[in-house]
């Protein structure tokens, strides 16, 4: 898919939240990301916050020798988002990732530092070849409008947000606004941390398609042309289920049934941040 400024993004990738937290799981987490790359899940999303840099180290090991196969996304913490410290944070991330550039660098959520300072740092990182593009995460429609009106904001191409059948607040204002502005939305926790996978309606629809509920939930997020989905999976079967979402076409009846089970948001619904 493409976003503002002609930025090309894989529509489906892998998240790394909670990776790098347990030493005994390191080998399995590295292998999971490598298997996802084998299956064509070419986007990996991480952040300096995840396991205090531990997830970035996992990613760095997984992509060693395969950097050209990966669209790499990371994020700066808001408390590091001053003009000077944003650059330092990106450099630390690059060291942990063991590579020379990040494809997309995001502000993890709104910061107390002036956004203009953060964006100035992002522009400097682009000029220095350390990042290719930049965006934000967990911004609502009002915050996005303000961001685009800020110096440097015209280059914001992505907003990463929580989105799944049980968390649909973005559909009221944010999703249509971003679509109009040609800004991609990147859905994290599309499985709602697994809490929706035993829902009877989703199970029935999945059975009708001969797929798992995880595949169904991810496919549901991908029904919008400006949406990227980044589920986290470590077991090989779960990774395969995620990859299978690219082949699923949901019917109008499927979508209506999901709407009944998980009603769309009321106007003015507030975004939720994990």
- Render pLDDT for 74-126 as a digit per residue (tens, 0 to 9): 999 999 999 999 999 999 999 999 999 999 999 999 999 999 999 999 999 99
Query: Do residues 250 and 217 touch, judged by C-beta distance below 8 A?
Result: no
Query: Do residues 64 and 96 touch, judged by C-beta distance below 8 A?
Result: no
C-alpha 253/C-alpha 36 separation (Å) is 31
C-alpha 190/C-alpha 214 separation (Å) is 9
> pLDDT value at position 269?
66
Please state which CATH number belongs to domain 8-261.
3.20.20.100
> pLDDT value at position 173?
96
pLDDT band at 2 (very low <50, low <70, confident <90, very high): confident
pTM of the model as a whole: 0.96
> pLDDT value at position 5?
87
Residues with a catalytic annotation lie at 50
Query: Do residues 118 and 107 touch, judged by C-beta distance below 8 A?
Result: yes
Residue position matching structure tokens 């790394």: 16
> pLDDT value at position 1?
83
C-alpha 75/C-alpha 90 separation (Å) is 8
> pLDDT value at position 172?
94
Q: What is the rounded average pLDDT of the residues 169-185?
A: 97
């Amino acid at each position: 898919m493409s976003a503002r400024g002609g930025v090309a993004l894989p529509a489906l990738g892998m998240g790394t939240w909670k990776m790098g937290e347990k030493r005994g799981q390191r080998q399995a987490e590295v292998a999971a990301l490598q298997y996802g790359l084998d299956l064509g899940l070419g986007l990996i999303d991480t952040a300096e916050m995840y396991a205090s840099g531990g997830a970035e180290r996992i990613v760095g090991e997984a992509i060693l020798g395969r950097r050209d196969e990966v669209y790499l996304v990371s994020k700066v913490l808001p408390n590091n988002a001053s003009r000077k410290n944003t650059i330092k944070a990106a450099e630390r991330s690059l060291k942990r990732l063991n590579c020379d550039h990040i494809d997309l660098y995001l502000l993890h959520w709104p910061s107390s530092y002036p956004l203009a300072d953060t964006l100035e740092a992002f522009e400097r990182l682009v000029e220095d070849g350390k990042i290719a593009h930049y965006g934000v995460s967990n911004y609502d429609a009002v915050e996005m409008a303000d961001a685009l009106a800020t110096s440097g904001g015209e280059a914001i191409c992505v907003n990463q947000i929580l989105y799944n059948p049980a968390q649909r607040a973005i559909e009221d204002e944010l999703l249509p606004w971003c679509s109009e502005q040609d800004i991609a939305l990147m859905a994290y926790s599309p499985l709602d941390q697994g809490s929706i996978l035993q829902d009877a309606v989703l199970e029935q629809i999945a059975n009708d398609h001969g797929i798992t509920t995880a595949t169904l939930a991810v496919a549901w997020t991908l029904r919008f042309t400006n949406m990227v989905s980044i589920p986290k999976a470590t077991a090989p079967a779960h990774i395969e289920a995620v990859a299978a979402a690219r082949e699923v076409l949901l019917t109008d009846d499927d979508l209506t049934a999901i709407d009944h089970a998980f009603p769309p948001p009321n106007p003015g619904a507030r975004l939720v941040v994990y």
